[in-house]
Amino acid sequence: MAENAVIDVKNLHKVYRTGQVEVKALRGFDLTVKPGEFSVLAGPSGSGKSTLLNIIGALDIPTKGQVLIEGHDLSKLNAPQLSVLRRDRIGFVFQAYNLIPVLSGVENVEFILMIQGIDAATRRKRARDILDRVGLGDQMNRRPIDMSGGQQQRVAVARAIVSKPAIVLADEPTANLDSKTAGDLLDLMEELNEKQGITFVFSSHDRNVIERAHRLLSLQDGMLVKDETMAAVN
């Protein structure tokens, strides 16, 4: 494993097969991310960004290659161990939100805290506090079906960060947000990055996200074609 790496990806390949059709989503991808990085994966649709995030987050299995998270080789962990890793160390923001439809916004956010065994009063306070910070303090008792896409996205972001994970993987986190709301969320994530040392890896087409990056990773055809260290914006 690379020294001091929180994410270490080596020679990663991912091939999807549908009948006779073969799609090579990742082609020998290598990446090392150190703790506290604020990185953005950029590239056209189909370049492998979402596939890479899903594999790093132990939601998908590579066809070939190795992924280490905080020194743990994902291929050597069993299903319960992978579940604990995802629960305690990784926060996710999905393009499709993946909210639980029968739960309210605040219940969706506190769900991860519940399965971590945190008591009801503490988890409700933490969920309410984080929803206030993403601007949903007056909407937290609504169910996803009664929320706009942007509101659901903010619930998804709140859920990803409420447990203070070591890593947050965010797939197009600002895609359904207006510029002010997106900016406010990015401010919050930058604050968590700076004050709590949470490592963020985004995929995004959003220029506002890309301009915040400390490191810009450009993908094309499943390969890393450029790795740039960016000047700090703030």
Domain edges within the chain: 7-229
Q: What is the mean pLDDT of residues 9-15?
A: 96
83: left (phi over 0), alpha (psi -120 to 50) or beta: alpha
Per-residue confidence (pLDDT) for residue 234, from 0 to 100:
42
d(CA 76, CA 33): 20
pLDDT over 70, % of the chain? 97
Q: How many residues does the chain have?
A: 234
> Three-class SS of residue 225?
strand
The pair of three-digit structure tokens given for residue 141, joined into one six-digit string: 């008792």
Phi-psi label, residue 31: left if phi above 0, alpha if psi -120 to 50, beta otherwise: beta
| Residue pair 223/41 in contact by the 8 Å Cβ criterion | no
Residue that wins the pLDDT comparison between 19 and 126: 126
CA pair distance 67, 32, nearest whole angstrom: 10
The radius of gyration of the chain's CA atoms, rounded to the nearest angstrom, is 17
Indicate if the pLDDT at residue 9 is higher than 70.
yes
Burial class (CB in 10 A: 0-12, 13-18, 19+), 110: buried
Per-residue pLDDT tens digits for 206-232: 888 899 999 999 999 999 999 999 865
Average pLDDT (75-97) is: 92
Report the alpha-carbon distance of residue 7 to residue 87 in Å, rounded. Answer: 16
CATH superfamily of 7-229: P-loop containing nucleotide triphosphate hydrolases (3.40.50.300)
CA–CA dist 224, 131 (Å, integer): 35
Per-residue pLDDT tens over the stretch 14-58: 999 988 889 999 999 999 999 999 999 999 988 999 999 999 999
pLDDT above 60: residue 204:
yes
The pLDDT assigned to 233 comes to 43
Q: CA–CA separation, 60 vs 54, rounded Å?
A: 6
For 49, the token pair is 């960004």
Does residue 184 surpass a pLDDT of 80?
yes
Q: What is the mean pLDDT of residues 2-25?
A: 90
Other beta carbons within 10 angstroms of residue 210's beta carbon come to 16
Residue type for position 153: Q
Q: What is the pLDDT of residue 230?
A: 82
pLDDT at 75 (0 to 100): 95
pLDDT of 19? 84
